[in-house]
Structure 1
Amino acid sequence: MTTPFSDLDQYIALPRVDGIALSPDGGRVALTVSTLDPDATGYRRAVWSVPATGDGEPARLTRSAKGESGIAFTRQGDLLFVSGRPDADAADSDAPQLWILPAAGGEARPVTRLSGGTGGVLATASAADVVAVTADLLPAASAGDPDGAIARDAELRKQRKDKKVQAILHESSPVRFWDHDLGPDQTHVLGIDLTALSDPTGAAPKTDDDSYPAHLPAPTDLTPAPGRTLDHVDGALTPDGATLVLQVGVKESRGQRSAIVTVDVATGARTVLFDDDGVDHEMPALSHDGRTLAWVRTVRSTPAGAHQQEVWTASIDGSDAHRIATDWDRWPSELVFAADDTAVLATADQDGRAPVFRIPLDGAAVEQLTDDDWAYSSLRVSAATGVVVALRASWAAPLHPVRIATDGTVTPLATPAPLPEVPAHLEEVETVAADGARIRGWLVLPEGDGPHPFLLWIHGGPLNSWNQWSWRWNPMLAAAKGYAVLLPDPALSTGYGLDFVNRGWNAWGQAPYTDLMAITDAVVARDDIDETRTGAMGGSFGGYMANWVAGHTDRFRAVVTHASLWALEQFNGTTDAPEYWSSIFDADGMRENDPHRFVADIVSPMLVIHGDKDYRVPIGEGLRLWSDLAEHHAAPDGSMPHRFLYFPDENHWVLKPQHAVVWYQTVFAFLGQHVLGDDWERPTLLG
């Protein structure tokens, strides 16, 4: 069967839904959809509208070369989005701004003109014309009188740009995050009163970057001098727009903990609601009447083990704080109040899926609303009508919008990104580990009776689960080439309870490894699997495990390791989040589970892949792995069976479309050579 997964050019051209918003009346769903740009080197997002009823056709709302993202609705049904599209009334600037598209019709118009741009919509008020956005301001601009911060920021940015200065002076940690430097600017939360947005007759006069236009609502800085405390900000507005609830960072010796505060939008006064040493308070959600707060409270992990993620509620003033869902052992990935405010809706990993759960506020048992093989995310609720919409996906289909009834019935909605036909089907597989733990996963089986060559794909995280579609790490591309792909959830995986996570805590090379080998044994024993043609691959934590596998067994003909941890002591001091890794390993655990100690035992040919802009797993890991392989395995003439695919301008994931093509071409050529016995074929674009 020929599908888009048989041709990488067709695959990268598939449109992709990646965002959702629900109108206040529950009648319309807005989607952001990414499509390949004309030269096939990047993606552009556009906003589409579909009915929330399950019928009708998608209608495109926006079209620009810069694309749109960060969608949200105002209380009146106008659509907000962020875009770097040109503003006809502004001086030349490509900084992304907040735009508004009227529900009554007409063209979109800008709401902000910030020199450093707008980060995104943080929250909107359901009964007031107030919106909170994130924006980056330089520290010197936000010092002193906050009313002049916007103008001072524009002036300082112009000075840095004119003098070509990019230097950053750090005064605290962290200094990087995933793929970008932190600073010199700092994330702020700005309040915007949309009633102050005027529409002057004729063209508004153009202004210099440091002069804020009078026809745009003047942003109010609600978080002066934030430092790095808002790098991971989350929040919600009360219906009247008077109070902003924020998740903020609290500085610690290495990194931060998360706290929840309220901010009076009129005065900027801040009140700390929940902040405890050694505890993270995250994911704040407000009831539709604005009276009740729900959030996730987690005691910080230590090398002794992870702790349960607890769902708590309290009154908006912080009183009557108590835990709900006390017998529920899943870790929520999002919280949103049901329309009647009697329960919180949540999604959480569970048994290789991610269902929607209903958590009653009165302490009653948690109910599972959806009971299928899908993973749900991005829950959106209309208080006016009770409509619930979400995105869902699995390894058989990418993200697409759905409507969820109160009885759990799910209705697919129209989408401008039709679900592609896939070249394989999924089977659920499981086995029992030596300690009696149940180990399960998905087996992606291609067409035909087999026996199929076999690939073990190990997920990242490590607190993760193979439960939904990934465009960057897609087993359907391997299935199109005839491989059966095992997607297992070993120890440390989420969705199986806290004890299952802690089986691998401070011991990555122990239960996670033996779990992987146990379920591999079970699958390769099948008649439709060829146990003589096998490979293993993984990225991030999966790359760590690929390295550990390579140093502890010769059963795989080839091992692909992407963005992988190799020397743990070195990694712990160079990653962008060293405090997190210190919470997982003590000194003994780090030493005993360090894969670089076993380089001399590696037999399988390895393909090492790394991007230089990867700050989570810095390039030094890939470079040292490559150096160690050369030291221990190179022939006198320098040749060896291993290869190193290096991306100077990519990050942890390798996101540029043509780089993704090169990535897959190289991986499949390497696997083809060593697993299938094909001749090595160097990808054309690698010279």
Structure 2
Amino acid sequence: PSWGDAAELLLLESLGTRRHVMAVSADGSGMRFISYGDGVVGSVALTDDASHMAFTYQTPDEPWDVFVSPTNGYAPSRVSDVHAGVPRPEMGRTRLVSWRSTEGFDIEGLLTYPVGYEEGERVPLILNVHGGPGGVFSQSFTGAPAAYMLQYFAQQGFAILRPNPRGSTGYGKDFRYANFQDWGYGDFRDLMSGVDHVIEIGVADPDRLLLMGWSYGGYMTSWAVTQTDRFVAASMGAGLPNLISMTTTTDIQDYLVGHMGIEFWEDYERYERHSAMYHIANVVTPTQVIHGAEDLRVPFTQGQEFYRALDRRGIPTEMIVYPRTPHGPREPKFVMDVSERILTWFLTHLDSEAVTAADGAR
């Protein structure tokens, strides 16, 4: 956001699932926290002398408001009440969880419980994969509008696990680079070990596992259904199942080359090895495809390829196309529509007992 003075640069950075302001010495000698604790700091503005800052702050349970604090001696004071009087239904609580994956990787994630969850109850679990792959799930308000309405699913009796697998931002350079030339392998193990962890702690029902993700999360959704039959149903949002055709059609043409480390014509096998389309014969999971008609980042044809292949194989599928939509829904009616479409898809493919339970929670 600013130079604090000639000696320090102030920056806003993800630190695991949190986000805070830090001061980095200009000479590289050290770093100190300006803000700290759980939650997410954002939209930082500093006084001319950088002695005070205004910022937004939110947690999984509380929406953002504006705070002020000195930059030397963090003492946040709330100065707005933006959401006063806004009705808020009962919410499912969210907590930070962690587990050991393969190759010694320690993985964090955020687990949102169903509304009214009782200890020891096993419930359907949705694995939600973030985009990027350099994205990160942070401790932001879980009732905020988004393509995936977390509390909407929690109100219907679902738990939601949002892991930060290798390749995510906020865990250092080595972790960020750990999926280089390895899409679909180590990161997939991180995700599935997280699912196993939520089963082991007695929350997830192993027979009622669901999967959804957008962009790279959509890639991982397409990949997962070619690698495992553990999910009852899946929903791929703006996914990229074919890394070769993605490279030649996306508006960020160097993106996959950077991750694969080589041009596809120099090593077709490498791109094919990491593309769900080249493993399509393995899919048995009912898989929904969602895409924006005007998506240039992950072109519409990526979703079309996967949908056509699934349909030709006789796998239960449907494709939902949002008109005028780029790489993610923007129009409010479309944002509101996505989660309802996914919920309907999931309930259709869950066993009748699960459908009855979820219907009763509405």
Moved over 6 A (4+): none
Higher share in strand: 1
Alignment CA distance shift 1:394-1:614 (3 Å): farther
Question: Counterpart of 2:103 in 1: which secondary structure?
Answer: coil
| Amino acid corresponding to residue 79 of structure 2 in structure 1 | L
After TM superposition, the structure 1 = structure 2 runs for residues 269-348 of structure 1, keeping only pairs within 5 Å, are 335-338=1-4, 340-348=5-13
What residue is the counterpart of 1:580 in the other structure? 255
Contact persistence 1:453–1:676 (CA under 8 A)? no
- Cα deviation, 1:8-38, whole Å, max 9, x if unaligned, reads xxxxxxxxxxxxxxxxxxxxxxxxxxxxxxx
After TM superposition, the structure 1 = structure 2 runs for residues 27-38 of structure 1, keeping only pairs within 5 Å, are none
What residue is the counterpart of 2:173 in the other structure? 498
Matches of 2:294 and 2:25, distance apart in 1: 44
What residue is the counterpart of 1:147 in the other structure? none
Matches of 1:541 and 1:385, distance apart in 2: 38
Contact persistence 2:65–2:82 (CA under 8 A)? no
Task: Using the aligned pairs only, state the percent identity.
Answer: 24
Question: Which residue among 105, 129, 132 is the counterpart of 1:458?
Answer: 129
What residue is the counterpart of 2:216 in the other structure? 541
Q: TM-score, normalised by structure 1?
A: 0.47
What residue is the counterpart of 1:593 in the other structure? 274
CA positional deviation for 1:416: 2.7
The alignment of Structure 1 onto Structure 2 pairs a total of residues equal to 338
Question: Which residue among 411, 423, 436 is the counterpart of 2:104?
Answer: 436
CA positional deviation for 1:364: 3.2
- Cα deviation, 1:577-607, whole Å, max 9, x if unaligned, reads 1122221112353221111111111111011
Matches of 1:455 and 1:394, distance apart in 2: 21
Contact persistence 1:506–1:590 (CA under 8 A)? no
What residue is the counterpart of 1:631 in the other structure? 312
After TM superposition, the structure 1 = structure 2 runs for residues 60-139 of structure 1, keeping only pairs within 5 Å, are none
What residue is the counterpart of 2:198 in the other structure? 523
Alignment CA distance shift 1:394-1:591 (3 Å): farther
Greater Cα radius of gyration, structure 1 or 2: 1
Matches of 1:552 and 1:408, distance apart in 2: 47
Question: Which residue among 547, 551, 566 is the counterpart of 2:241?
Answer: 566
Matches of 1:363 and 1:551, distance apart in 2: 46
- Cα deviation, 1:637-686, whole Å, max 9, x if unaligned, reads xxx5211111122121112111222222211111112235339xxxxxxx
Question: Does residue 122 of structure 2 align to residue 448 of structure 1?
Answer: no
After TM superposition, the structure 1 = structure 2 runs for residues 583-622 of structure 1, keeping only pairs within 5 Å, are 583-585=258-260, 586=262, 587=267, 588-622=269-303
Q: Which structure exhibits the higher relative contact order, with contacts defined as CA atoms closer than 8 Å and separated by 6 or more residues? A: 2
| Amino acid corresponding to residue 61 of structure 2 in structure 1 | A
Residue segments in structure 2 that go unaligned for 5+ positions in a row: 357-362
Question: Counterpart of 1:397 in 2: which secondary structure?
Answer: coil
Alignment CA distance shift 1:421-1:393 (3 Å): farther
| Amino acid corresponding to residue 600 of structure 1 in structure 2 | A
Q: TM-score, normalised by structure 2?
A: 0.88
Question: Counterpart of 2:18 in 1: which secondary structure?
Answer: coil
RMSD: 1.9
Question: Counterpart of 2:127 in 1: which secondary structure?
Answer: strand
What residue is the counterpart of 1:198 in the other structure? none
Matches of 2:97 and 2:350, distance apart in 1: 23
Higher share in helix: 2
What residue is the counterpart of 1:551 in the other structure? 226
